[in-house]
Amino acid sequence: MTEVKRWLAAIILLVVAILSGSLAMFLHPVMWGRVSFGLTLIGLVTLALYDEDNYNLLWLAGLLGLICDWFYLGFVGVCLVAFPALTFLAQKIARYVPELALPKMIVVVLMYLLQYLYLFLVLAMFNLSDTGRSAFWQGLGSSLLSGIVWTVLTFWAWRKLAQNFPFLPSQADLY
């Protein structure tokens, strides 16, 4: 049971990574514009903000990124890079963020936008998407909106998970 608790965050993040695709499929018809369903990144960044010294989160982020890239895109380098990089960044700035929910939620939304910018940069660089200015701003607007909505809806659950079931905590963290 204790072992399951140590891995619970990873299991939930994997389920959320799968759920993101299912939600995208079911909710796409009723969503406005190009909305992303980056729930996995929101989870990783929130866990990183509450568990800033846990570097196990970095390899977990890398593994999830690799799986998401393979399953949803067919090539690697988008989530595989963005997930661990933004998790690392969140851990580094966590000590400067006040211990209140709102500032942490703002950081999560900013990370969500950074992932959008990185994705746009990669797709534009490799000619994999439309690089028009209007498309960029439209995507940025819908990403900001979806980032805020998903963060508000799921933040409390991720916080509980980080506080009660940290991912593979070290012995020092347990005592």
Partner 1 sequence: MKKFFQNKKIITIFVIVVLILSLLTVSVHARQRRSGPLFVQKVGNETMAIGSHLLNWPLALISGGANSVHDIMQAESENDHLKKQVDSLAQTKARNASLESENAQLKKALKLKSSLTDYHLINGSVISRSPETWSDILIIDRGSSSGVRKNMAVMSGGGVIGRIIEVDQTTAKVELLTTSDKQANRFAVQAKSSSVKMVHGVISATNGQLSFTQVNNGHKLKTGTKVYTSGMGGNSPQGLLIGKVSKTTKDSYGLSDVITIKPAGELTSPSVVTVVQRKEAD
- Helices and strands (H and E) in the chain: how many: 7, 0
19 or 58: CB nearest partner 1: 19
Minimum CB–partner distance for residue 169 and partner 1 (Å): 26
Token representation of residue 167: 């991912």
Residue 115 contacts residue 76 (beta carbons within 8 Å) = no
Minimum CB–partner distance for residue 88 and partner 1 (Å): 11
Chosen residue from 2, 3, 29, 99 binding partner 1 by CB under 8 A = 29
By CB under 8 A, tell whether 156 contacts partner 1. Answer: no
Q: Where are the alpha helices (DSSP H) in 51-131?
A: 56-68, 79-93, 101-125
Minimum CB–partner distance for residue 65 and partner 1 (Å): 12
4 or 102: CB nearest partner 1: 4
By CB under 8 A, tell whether 152 contacts partner 1. Answer: no
- What is the C-alpha separation between 63 and 46, in angstroms, rounded? 17
Task: Restricting to residues 44-83, name those near partner 1 by CB under 8 A.
Answer: 66-67, 70-78, 80-81
Residue 169 contacts residue 6 (beta carbons within 8 Å) = yes
Name the one range near partner 1 by CB under 8 A: 29-37, 44-52, 92-100, 158-166.
29-37
By CB under 8 A, tell whether 20 contacts partner 1. Answer: yes
Burial degree of 142 (CB within 10 A; 0-12, 13-18, 19+): middle
Minimum CB–partner distance for residue 100 and partner 1 (Å): 29
37 or 155: CB nearest partner 1: 37
Q: Positive or negative, the Cα torsion across 67, 73, 79, 81?
A: positive
Residue 122 contacts residue 78 (beta carbons within 8 Å) = yes
Positions that interact with partner 1 (CB under 8 A)? 14-15, 17-26, 28-29, 34-39, 66-67, 70-78, 80-81, 116, 119-120, 122-123, 125-130, 132, 134-135, 139, 142-143
